[in-house]
């Protein structure tokens, strides 16, 4: 088993081509800003590494913060089902995302948090192997992250 | 056909806690079957929760979300007996939706 890559419809490929064209014309200086709308961030989910995925998703980088509480196991016996949760004391949170650094595609989930929704999410992710899990909280336009290494005994992406 | 979505939404004080479990293979597109053929990617991309005509939670998922995905979140303002609408769409365009009562 392995994690990762979506298949892409022709329409989405064409949309991607369109946005590339915009970048070429200089309109792409504010990339994607996925958090501002409800569109599926196809491009960010296609990126290989965590840094590229964060860039594609938000167009900026995150700073580590102890206000982001990432709850993940030390050791995951089964990489196919790793329970991971995040909560934060930060206010004005607009989105929360989860990345698994060594997965074929690092971005695992991106949650839009409207006003009135508690900035805490729990879910279950697949992990290819032992690596870092990164949670990113977008608060008042800034990105805050927490990182934790999870040891995987049986990969959710290999066997 | 029974819905693929199972939801439990419970209100406590002014906060409604929602837990959802969905039946879906969440195939990543990297796994091979017994014949060595790649199983094509098939996973939920978007999952929305609506309360009182307002989206209270939107999940964008990649293929790294586990099979039969589970998610938990909370929002302010739900009341006992309110409807909570849940809807998902996967990368093949399939959808399913259900309406749960907040208890």
Segments making up each domain of chain A, as ranges:
42-152
Categorize the per-residue pLDDT at A4 as very low, low, confident or very high, splitting at 50, 70 and 90.
very low
d(CA A108, CA A48): 11
Alpha carbon of residue A44 to chain centroid: 8
Q: Considering CB atoms only, which of A7, A41, A122 is closest to B60?
A: A41
Q: Residue A135, exposed/middle/buried by CB under 10 A (0-12, 13-18, 19+)?
A: buried
Q: Is B50 helix (H, G, I), strand (E, B) or coil?
A: strand
Q: Does B61 touch chain A (CB under 8 A)?
A: yes
Architecture in CATH of B5-101: Sandwich (2.60)
Which of A136, A131, A127 lies closest to A148 in space, CA to CA?
Answer: A131
The percentage of chain A sitting over the pLDDT mark of 70, rounded to a whole number, equals: 74
d(CA A23, CA A29): 7
Q: What is the ipTM of this complex?
A: 0.95
Q: Is the pLDDT of residue B63 over 70?
A: yes
CA distance B87 to chain A (A): 14
- Cβ pairs bridging A and B (under 8 Å): 134
Which of B19, B18, B28 lies closest to B67 in space, CA to CA?
Answer: B28
Asked whether B7 and B93 are in contact (CB, 8 A), the reply is: no
Asked whether A3 and B30 are in contact (CB, 8 A), the reply is: yes
Q: A42-152: what fold?
A: Immunoglobulin-like (2.60.40)
More confident residue, A38 or B16: B16
pLDDT at position B2 is 73
d(CA B14, CA B28): 38
The percentage of chain B sitting over the pLDDT mark of 90, rounded to a whole number, equals: 92
Give contacts of B 21-50 with A, CB under 8 A.
26, 28-31, 40-41, 43, 45-46
Single pTM value for the model? 0.84
- Mean pLDDT in residue range B80-97: 96
Q: What is the dihedral of CA A129, B41, A145, A81, to 10 degrees?
A: -50
CA distance B67 to chain A (A): 8
Q: Considering CB atoms only, which of B28, B59, B75 is closest to A118?
A: B75
pLDDT for A94-142, tens place per residue? 999 999 999 999 999 999 999 999 999 999 999 999 999 999 999 999 9
């Amino acid at each position: 088993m392995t994690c990762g890559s979506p298949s892409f419809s022709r329409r989405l490929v064409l949309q991607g081509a369109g946005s590339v064209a915009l970048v070429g014309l200089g309109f792409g200086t504010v990339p994607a800003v996925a958090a501002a709308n409800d569109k599926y961030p196809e491009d960010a989910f296609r990126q290989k590494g965590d840094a590229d995925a964060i860039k594609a998703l938000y167009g900026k980088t995150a700073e580590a913060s102890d206000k982001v509480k990432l709850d993940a196991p030390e050791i995951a016996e089964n990489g196919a089902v790793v329970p991971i949760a995040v909560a934060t004391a930060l206010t004005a949170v607009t989105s929360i995302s989860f990345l698994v650094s060594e997965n074929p595609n690092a971005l695992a989930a991106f949650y839009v948090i409207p006003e009135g929704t508690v900035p805490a999410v729990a879910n279950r992710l697949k992990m290819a192997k032992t690596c870092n899990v990164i949670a990113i909280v977008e608060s008042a336009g800034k990105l805050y992250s927490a990182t934790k290494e999870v040891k995987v005994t049986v990969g959710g992406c290999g066997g | 056909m029974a819905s693929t979505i199972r939801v439990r939404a419970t209100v406590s004080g002014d906060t409604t806690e929602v837990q959802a479990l969905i039946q879906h293979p969440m195939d990543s597109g990297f796994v091979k079957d017994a014949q060595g053929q790649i199983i094509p990617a098939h996973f939920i991309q978007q999952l929305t929760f609506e309360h009182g005509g307002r989206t209270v939670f939107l999940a964008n998922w990649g293929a790294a979300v586990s099979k039969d995905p589970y998610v938990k979140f909370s929002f302010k303002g739900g009341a006992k007996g309110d409807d909570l609408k849940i809807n998902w769409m996967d990368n093949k365009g399939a959808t399913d939706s259900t309406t749960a009562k907040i208890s």
